[in-house]
Every structure is written in C-alpha cells, then in structure tokens.
C-alpha cells in the first residue's frame, strides 16, 4: 500500500490538485483513508521539497513563475541530454525495442493531450533508466516531479503531439544506432521545442 506522501504526490502529478489549490490535512486523511499524522508528515516533506508553499496558515500547491520555468527547462535539457547520450552507449537491445514500441503505441493518444502527457512521462523515464546511471535517474526524478507544478501540458498546443512524437522517434533512432552525439542533439532539440511551445502558450494567455 502506498504511503501518504506517495498518494498526495501522485494526486498533484495527476492534476487532481493544481497550483494554487489548498491542501487540508483532515480532507486528505479522509480522501486517502489514512490517519492525520502521516498526512501531516507528508505535507511537511512536500513543503521542504518546494512542492507546497505557505499561504498564511494554509499549505497550497506551488506554482512556477517564468524564471523558475526557464531554470527548470535549462537543467532538464542538460540532464535529459546526458541520459540520452548514456542510453546510446548502454541501452540493451530490449530497452531500445521498448522505446521504439512506446513511440508507435503513443500514436493512438495523439488527440488526447492528457494521455499523451502521461505517455511522454513514461517515455522519458524509460530513457532515464536506459542510461544505467542511478544518480542521474534520481536527479531526473526530482526534475520531473517539479514539472507536475505546471498547470498545463505543452502537448495541448495545436500540432505539438505530432511533432513531439516525431522528435521521440529521432531520439530512439539515435539511441538504437549507438550515436551518443546525435541522441544528445535530438533530446536537446526536443526540450527546446517543448519550452518554445510553452512560451507561446504563456504569451497567448497574456494576450487574453
């Protein structure tokens, strides 16, 4: 059975609780069927990880401002590119086939941004694992956990699903070829396009 921390974190990642939402200890305990003590400890842990912030006496799900997003994408690009480069060197044939199958299967979710976002997370995590570097995987887990604080997936932008999957295929092709430099470039381009798409989404909101 999952602990209170994992349950609350999963709810944030799933969008059940979004940036700005207030988390109430008693409501969480009732929702997840656990006592209030582990919920209180989980909330304290999430606060130290900057997933939650104080609003008076309440804890709310944190949100990321423009500068924080820019910093997050910068770090993500470096770490993800390293993972792709190492995967090109260390991925087993089975891992490469799994990555290729993911790209093929994800075509079915092309019109469902939320499903595609979940698939995208699984795809990137598989690349992290294929790097065969546990310390890198740990750092990327932290980065992707923070990404749950983004209110909307960039895959919701018109046409982004198709281009993102094409970018995924280029990454997998480079890994399959054992070309670390090409995998690095393809992953960096993929993250750059995701960041550019998010900037356009932000600009569109500002104009409204």
The predicted-structure confidence for 125-161, as pLDDT tens digits, reads as follows: 999 999 999 999 999 998 988 988 886 777 777 788 8
Residue 205 pLDDT class (50, 70, 90 cuts): low
d(CA 117, CA 7): 19
Select, from the ranges 9-13, 33-37, 138-142, 181-185, the one with the highest average predicted confidence (pLDDT).
181-185
Is the CA virtual torsion 55, 7, 2, 115 positive or negative? negative
Alpha-carbon torsion angle 170, 172, 177, 179, nearest 10: 70
Q: What is the pLDDT of residue 140?
A: 96
Would you give the DSSP letter of residue 157? S
Strands of the 22-23 sheet, one edge to the other = 22-23, 58-61, 52-55
Confirm if 143 and 64 have CB atoms less than 8 A apart.
no
Q: What is the pLDDT of residue 126?
A: 97
Which tops the pLDDT comparison, 1 or 172? 172
d(CA 24, CA 16): 14
Report the range of poorest mean pLDDT among 111-115, 140-144, 170-174, 195-199: 111-115
Does position 169 have pLDDT exceeding 90, yes or no? yes
Q: Once rounded to an integer, what is the mean pLDDT over residues 97-114?
A: 92
Q: Once rounded to an integer, what is the mean pLDDT over residues 176-204?
A: 93
Q: What is the pLDDT of residue 208?
A: 46
d(CA 175, CA 93): 10
What's the mean pLDDT when you consider all of the chain?
A: 91
d(CA 102, CA 172): 10
Q: What is the pLDDT of residue 151?
A: 64
Does position 6 have pLDDT exceeding 70, yes or no? yes
d(CA 163, CA 153): 14
Note the pLDDT tens digit of each residue in 22-56: 999 999 999 999 999 999 999 999 999 889 999 88
d(CA 169, CA 190): 11
Q: How far is CA 138 from the centre of its chain?
A: 13
d(CA 58, CA 122): 33
Alpha-carbon torsion angle 96, 84, 123, 203, nearest 10: -150
């Amino acid at each position: 059975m999952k602990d209170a921390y994992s349950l609350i974190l999963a709810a944030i990642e799933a969008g059940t609780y979004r940036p700005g939402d207030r988390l109430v200890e008693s409501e969480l305990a009732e929702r997840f069927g656990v006592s209030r003590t582990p919920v209180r400890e989980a909330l304290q842990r999430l606060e130290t990880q900057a997933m939650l912030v104080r609003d008076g006496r309440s804890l709310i799900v944190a949100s990321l401002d423009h500068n924080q997003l820019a910093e997050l994408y910068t770090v993500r690009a470096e770490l993800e590119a390293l993972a792709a480069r190492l995967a090109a060197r260390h991925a087993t044939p089975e891992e490469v086939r799994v990555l290729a199958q993911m790209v093929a299967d994800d075509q079915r979710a092309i019109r469902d941004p939320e499903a595609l976002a979940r698939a995208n997370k699984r795809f990137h995590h598989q690349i992290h694992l294929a790097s065969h570097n546990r310390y890198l995987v740990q750092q990327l887990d932290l980065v992707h956990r923070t990404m749950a604080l983004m209110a909307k997936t960039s895959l919701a932008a018109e046409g982004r699903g198709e281009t993102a999957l094409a970018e995924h295929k280029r990454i997998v092709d480079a890994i399959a070829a054992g070309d670390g430099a090409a995998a690095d470039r393809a992953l960096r381009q993929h993250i750059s396009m995701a960041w550019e798409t998010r900037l356009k989404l932000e600009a569109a909101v500002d104009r409204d």
